[in-house]
Amino acid sequence: MSGPTADAWINPLRDSRDRRLPHIAGPCGLVIFGVTGDLARKKLMPAVYDLANRGLLPPGFALVGFARRDWADEDFGKIVHDAVREHARTPFREHVWEQLSRGIRFVQGSFDDAAAFTELKNTLATLDRERGTRGNHAFYLSIPPAQFPTVCQQLSQSGLAKSVDGQWRRVVIEKPFGHDLDSARELNAVVNKVFPEDTVFRIDHYLGKETVQNILALRFANQLFDPIWNSHYVDHVQITMAEDIGLGGRAGYYDGIGAARDVIQNHLLQLLAFTAMEEPVSFEPSELQAEKIKVLSATRLAEPLDETTARGQYAGGWQGGLEVVGLHDEEGFAKDSTTETYAAITLEVDTRRWAGVPFYLRTGKRLGRRVTEIAVVFKRAPHLPFDATMTEELGQNALVIRVQPDEGVTMRFGSKVPGSSMEVRDVNMDFSYGQAFTVSSPEAYERLILDVLLGEPSLFPVNAEVELSWTILDPALEHWARQGMPEPYEAGTWGPPSAEEMMRRTGREWRRP
């Protein structure tokens, strides 16, 4: 072998395309709108520090906060410092903080204040000169969607959204991406009027989790699973995101949104897409997005919706040894609210691979425990050599991808019980990230913020994915809107009786993680 290909083979560290190497962001800065909120304090600021601590940010990186508070740069720096001390994943190092803090600035103003955006423009120009950010800036809209049009308009009118002379400008949007298909299209149009689609990064923090990305490795790097990853062998798929907490102080945000809009439309449908998509030609962003769009285009709600969906609201009860109140007793929640805190739907994927395989998606608050998982449940074997007593304690084989909190993969299969008789029971084969790797996984926001700064859009849903997700979910939302009050379920249980009945109709049952 000769030439650059041979050199790269001999020493892959010399190949700039080697995806095993860490990618370091070039000269740039990040502007956070909504910098006084919990997301910025608990996730965004610590993630920026952790990236700096790992050497993945440029030495002259700039962090700018924008809010109404009457803060000087030093005041904002203290806020960032305290957030980092409390929430950062990596150890605090004084020299890293010193370098990062020299690029921290604050701009005071409201979202409709044109003068404040002029000041922001001047601040960024100063950082370009003093910190070498070279006009490359990302704008993180950690704000309610209702404020997106105002901020985008101000960024446009001030000239901050326009890329010139090889500089880049990008915008980062937090969910929810609308509340139905029409509002999502309207929101996309507002944002795309200012920022071209290839500069828009819609954050779904679940896609930044290592275990979600591991779905691609599990499926496409191993010959073991591909032959059985289809309707010939798979009975059904369950995708669960369960929380053991109630709404607490989020009642004002949550009322009118509900579990389906908050979780199913984005997180769970993205997990379905990763699970059901065909193998991409490569891991280039356009190829990944194309396969996700294909599978979402083929996905629809199973009918009739009375039998294939369920929703509920948590009532009071006992959880974790504590007595907790029901939804309607939560402070700030309307007593007559029909907003669901539990939602379950049945989906069908009309492709050759998945024809006839139901996908069950569920999410809820005040459930039995906090867990997010994807369970691929296989059809039962014929058991021809065994009589009924030998296999009566044997369930269905399953492959379970644990997204959180105990990240890993479990395989459930039958094994002979020690002894003189032939008796088969379920056993588990377990892979845990914490035990298999000595390096701790980055937080999702670390990966996603770095990808924004690198201009790497693979893990960010595009317009088509967002609109297809609403196309899938909207019929269920419209159906529930006609049904009145959701069914109550006791705190600490696994949801309303109608969800259990939904599964029993097909001879199946929900997993108890």
CA angle 441, 444, 450 (to 5 degrees): 100
CATH number, domain of 270, equals 3.30.360.10
Residues 341 and 489 in one domain: yes
Average pLDDT over residues 363-382: 93
pTM across the whole model:
0.89
Q: Is the predicted pLDDT of residue 13 greater than 50, yes or no? A: no
68 is in an annotated binding site: yes
Domain that holds residue 417: 208-504
Q: pLDDT of 284-335, one tens digit each?
A: 888 999 999 999 999 999 999 999 999 999 999 888 888 898 888 888 788 8
For residue 27, whether the previous peptide bond is cis, meaning omega lies within 30 degrees of 0, is no
- Same domain assignment for residues 327 and 406: yes
Domain boundary among 174, 195, 223: 174
Regarding whether 421 and 482 lie in a shared domain, the answer is yes
Q: Which are the catalytic amino acids?
A: 267
Mean pLDDT of 14-35: 76
448 vs 321, higher pLDDT: 448
Query: What does the pLDDT read at residue 12?
Result: 37
- Give me the number of domains the chain comprises: 2
Does 262 carry a binding-site annotation? yes
Flag whether 184 is in a domain: no
Same domain assignment for residues 162 and 246: no
Is 292 annotated in a binding site? The answer is no
Residue 209 counted as an annotated binding residue:
yes
Claim to verify: residue 212 and residue 145 sit in the same structural domain: no
In 3D space, the residue among 499, 496, 481 whose CA is nearest the CA of residue 315 turns out to be 496
Residue 500 assigned as binding residue: no
Domain presence at residue 307: yes
pLDDT above 90: percentage of residues in the chain: 68
The answer on 264 and 353 residing in a single domain is yes
Rg, Å, the chain Cα set: 25
365 annotated among ligand-binding-site residues: yes
Question: Quick one: residue 82, left, alpha or beta (phi over 0 = left, psi -120 to 50 = alpha)?
Answer: alpha
Residue 328: inside a domain: yes
CATH of the domain at 102: 3.40.50.720
For residues 65-89, give the mean pLDDT: 94
Q: Which residue has the higher pLDDT, 367 or 165?
A: 367
What distances in angstroms separate CA 210 from CA 55, 220, 277, 442, one per listed residue?
Answer: 20, 16, 18, 8
Residue 200 within any structural domain of the chain = no
